[in-house]
């Protein structure tokens, strides 16, 4: 596609900020606009066991790219085709792009997918006016623990739109972080109540 499309430039003297750097954010937004709903569909109980369950056998991914590409062949092909679809849509309907931008998209995407399957705690940017990260390793880590959340491959924008974003259990604002103070308050109240109660016991008999 890149070789035959008139909207993909190849000459080095045609490289510019507009056709090389500007398309990059658009690539990731468009890619996950398709991938996040697709990923969510793979978690439907009617198909989960046949395709995506294989990837989730690794509950705590640690091996980087090895875990990132450890997916069913159907899922792998669809994910790669989505890159081509993204490049087509951005170059056809948004702006002409340089081939270098496409290569950067694939390279950066590969790095982000790899990071998502490591123990490295990386966070890049946040959705404006929210605490939701645009990219965060913790977000995908949460998905492996709580599968019905955080379906985006690269960014959490569309999970925010779909209402499927879930903060990491250790992050402020998460369900788990709200439960802990409540549990502590309940425990403190119980201890306070016990302290106010008279001590009932038997006196030791002397002599």
Residue 193 maps to a domain: no
Residue 202 lies in a domain: no
Does the residue 205 lie in any domain?
no
pLDDT digits (tens, 9 = 90+) for 61-106: 889 999 999 999 999 999 999 999 999 999 999 999 999 999 999 9
Selection from 7, 15, 207 nearest residue 104 by Cα: 15
Q: What pLDDT shows up at residue 83?
A: 96
1 inside domain: no
pLDDT for position 182: 54
**Residue range of the domain that includes 164:** 8-168
Tally of structural domains, the chain? 1
Which is nearest to 27 in space by CA: 79, 73, 94? 94
Does 196 score more than 70 pLDDT? no
Residue 134 φ then ψ, to 5°: -70, -50
Tell me the pLDDT band of 2, cut-offs 50, 70 and 90: confident
Report the distance separating Cα 162 and Cα 158, nearest Å: 6
Q: Which pLDDT value is given to residue 150?
A: 96
For residue 187, what pLDDT band results from cuts at 50, 70 and 90?
very low
- Using only the alpha carbons of the chain, give its radius of gyration: 25
101 in a structural domain = yes
Answer yes or no: are the C-beta atoms of 39 and 153 closer than 8 Å. yes
- Residue 191 lies inside a defined structural domain of this protein: no
Judge whether 3 lies within some domain: no
Q: Residue 189: pLDDT band by 50, 70, 90 thresholds?
A: low
Mean pLDDT for the stretch of residues 168-186: 66
What is the number of alpha carbons within 13 Å of residue 189 lying toward its C-beta?
6
Q: Look at residue 199 and tell me whether its pLDDT is greater than 70.
A: no
146 belongs to a structural domain: yes
- CA atoms of 82 and 176, how far apart (whole Å): 34
């Amino acid at each position: 596609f890149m070789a035959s499309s008139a909207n993909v430039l190849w000459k080095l003297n045609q490289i510019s900020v507009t056709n090389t750097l500007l398309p990059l954010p658009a690539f990731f937004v468009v890619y996950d606009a398709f991938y996040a709903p697709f990923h969510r569909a793979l978690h439907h109980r009617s198909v989960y066991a046949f395709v995506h369950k294989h990837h989730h056998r690794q509950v705590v991914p640690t091996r980087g790219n090895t875990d990132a590409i450890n997916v069913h062949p159907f899922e792998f092909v669809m994910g790669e085709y989505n890159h081509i679809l993204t490049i087509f849509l951005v170059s056809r309907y948004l702006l002409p792009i340089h081939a270098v931008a496409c290569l950067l998209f694939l390279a950066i995407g590969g790095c982000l997918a790899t990071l998502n399957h490591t123990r490295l705690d990386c966070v890049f940017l946040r959705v404006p006016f929210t605490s939701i990260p645009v990219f965060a390793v913790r977000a995908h880590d949460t998905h492996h623990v709580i599968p019905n959340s955080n379906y985006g491959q690269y960014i959490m924008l569309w999970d925010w739109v779909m209402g499927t974003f879930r903060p990491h259990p250790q992050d402020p604002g998460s369900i788990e972080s709200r439960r802990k103070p409540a549990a502590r308050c309940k425990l403190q109240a119980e201890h306070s109540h016990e302290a106010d109660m008279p001590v009932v016991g038997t006196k030791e008999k002397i002599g």
